[in-house]
A and B are shown apart, each in its own frame.
Chain A
Amino acid sequence: MQFFKVIQWIVWKDLVSEIRNRENVSSMFFFALAVILIFSFSFSMDQAATKELMPGIIWVAFGFTGIIGLGKSFLPEVQNDCMEYLQMAPVSKGAIYLGKLFGNILFLLLAEIILFPLFILFFNLDILDKLPIILLIFLVATMGLSALGTLFSALTVQIRAREVMFPILLLPLAVPVFIGAVESTRGALNGDPLYLYLQWLELLAVFDLIFMIVSFWVFEFILDY
């Protein structure tokens, strides 16, 4: 029972500190806003080009947002000297990972949900009827991205070149997430029937599962003394 309590506490702690200083979500939001604006200047898009490029643009923006947000997820712990306490806490290290992970999924998903209406607005997307499946895609892809991001955040947070190393480690390993997310988003935006892009969602789900399990196991060695 204590295992789930630990997860709950860490999510709650991150949530409260986020609500109090709004540092992470707001920086993610404004960064992604800038990315969207730059994309809309960079490509002059007609209806056909929008359909072709939109899924990629969405996930590049969300990927960068994730780098900004996820990379910082262990920073408050280091700044407040809490890493040692996490290391010493007589609880499962995996539970600490899962707590951080669920917090990150929550923040990233929140940023994505705030941003998505802006995409609809700026790029004239007409997709209101496909919203449930798009939200599902966001959820599954965000879980995969966060599973890796949380682990690498813990890995890089205590080293010198933190800001450089985090994307260098995360982006190559997250290639399958980006491919799966872009392809399934493309299917959803085109209004294809679900079975045409269902395997991408399956790939994302499998990816989430494998990486959560492996990260859950190896996280113990990161917080080890």
Chain B
Amino acid sequence: MLASRFIGRLRKVQNWIALMAGLFLAVGLYQALVVSPSDYYQGEVVRIMYIHVPFAEGAMLAYTVLFFGSLWYLWKRDPVIDNLCHASAGIGILFTTVALITGSIWAKPTWNTWWTWDPRLVSFAVLLLILIGYIMLRSFLDDKEKEARYSAVLAIIGFVDLPIVHFSVEWWRTLHQPLSISSRGVSIATPILIPLICMSIGLYLLFAYMLMVRTQMLYLEYLLEAKQGRLLSEIQL
């Protein structure tokens, strides 16, 4: 199948991707923690942004991959694509959790609260719940083909829901609290932008690497199970 060939070809460069990811992350972290200046308003606290923003972007990337992968799976029924979706959801949970935790740590000194019902926060929390539900649903289904189909349906519905959650929360808050969250006081200047871009590229590459490794793992598991099934039927014969 097309996807399997594509992934097979990508496998040859996956270590290079890992190397590049490590490089970008190392340079980005050095820039973020040492080189870049502290913020005028927030002081050193602002440095958490270099972790928080790339992870949030990575989480969104993971969910986008999950959504298009699910559409692709329903269209072509390629088991490798299903493994890709599964892998993407798992990485998505990790990234979303990191983004939520770092965001919460960042929010305490700047907004003086751990959590607020901001549209973006709520849609991220809902995203995490959907991803956890997705993984749980997968773990409760025994039939591989059915598992792939059902979870693809769930991922598509969840992706459609996210913008609605976002806007409903935005309306919900703006209707009753005209003064929503104040601006963060971060204007993007070059010394801030460079580490941010470095970290983002590093995280994207890290995501790509993790996705490839995890997809292969899940595919091998799939093959192993298929093979075990065949052996079992041979024994029974």
Contact = CB atoms under 8 A, between A and B. Distances in A.
Interface of A: 148, 151, 155-156, 158-161, 165, 168-169, 171-173, 175-176, 179-180, 183, 199-200, 203, 206-207, 210-211, 214-215, 218, 221-222, 224
Contacts of A211: 157, 160
Which of B132, B165, B169 has the most C-beta atoms of chain A within 10 angstroms of its own C-beta? B165
The interface residues of chain A, by DSSP majority, are classed as helix
Given A165-B136, A221-B149, A173 B161 contact: yes
A17 to B, nearest CB: 26
13 contacts: A148-B157, A155-B150, A158-B146, A159-B137, A173-B157, A175-B168, A179-B168, A179-B169, A183-B175, A203-B168, A203-B171, A214-B160, A222-B153
B153 A155 contact: yes
A161 B133 CA distance: 12
Nearest to A183: B172
Closest 8 CB pairs of A and B: A172-B129, A176-B168, A159-B140, A218-B153, A176-B164, A173-B161, A169-B133, A179-B168
A26 to B, nearest CB: 29
B152 A173 contact: no
B153 A165 contact: no
Contacts of B133: 165, 168-169, 172
A165 B140 contact: yes
Contacts of A161: 136, 140
Which of A165, A176, A224 has the most C-beta atoms of chain B within 10 angstroms of its own C-beta? A176
A215 B126 CA distance: 19
Contact of A172 (B130, B146, B152, B167): B130
B151 to A, nearest CB: 9
B152 A221 contact: yes
Contacts of A206: 164
B176 to A, nearest CB: 9
Interface in B141-183: 141, 146, 149-150, 152-154, 156-158, 160-161, 164-165, 167-169, 171-172, 175
Contacts of A218: 74, 153, 156-157
Nearest to A182: B172
Given A214-B156, A222-B149, A175 B136 contact: no
Which of B74, B126, B171, B175 has the most C-beta atoms of chain A within 10 angstroms of its own C-beta? B171
Contacts of A148: 157
The interface residues of chain B, by DSSP majority, are classed as helix
B20 interface: no
Contacts of B61: none
A173 B130 contact: yes
Nearest to B176: A183
B98 interface: no
Given A155-B150, A215-B157, 14 more contacts: A155-B137, A158-B146, A159-B141, A161-B136, A165-B133, A165-B136, A172-B129, A172-B133, A175-B165, A176-B164, A199-B171, A214-B156, A218-B157, A224-B149
Nearest to B153: A218
Nearest to A196: B175
A159 B146 CA distance: 10
A199 to B, nearest CB: 7
B189 to A, nearest CB: 37
A213 to B, nearest CB: 9
B100 interface: no
A109 to B, nearest CB: 22
Nearest to A168: B133
A169 B160 CA distance: 14
A106 B132 CA distance: 31
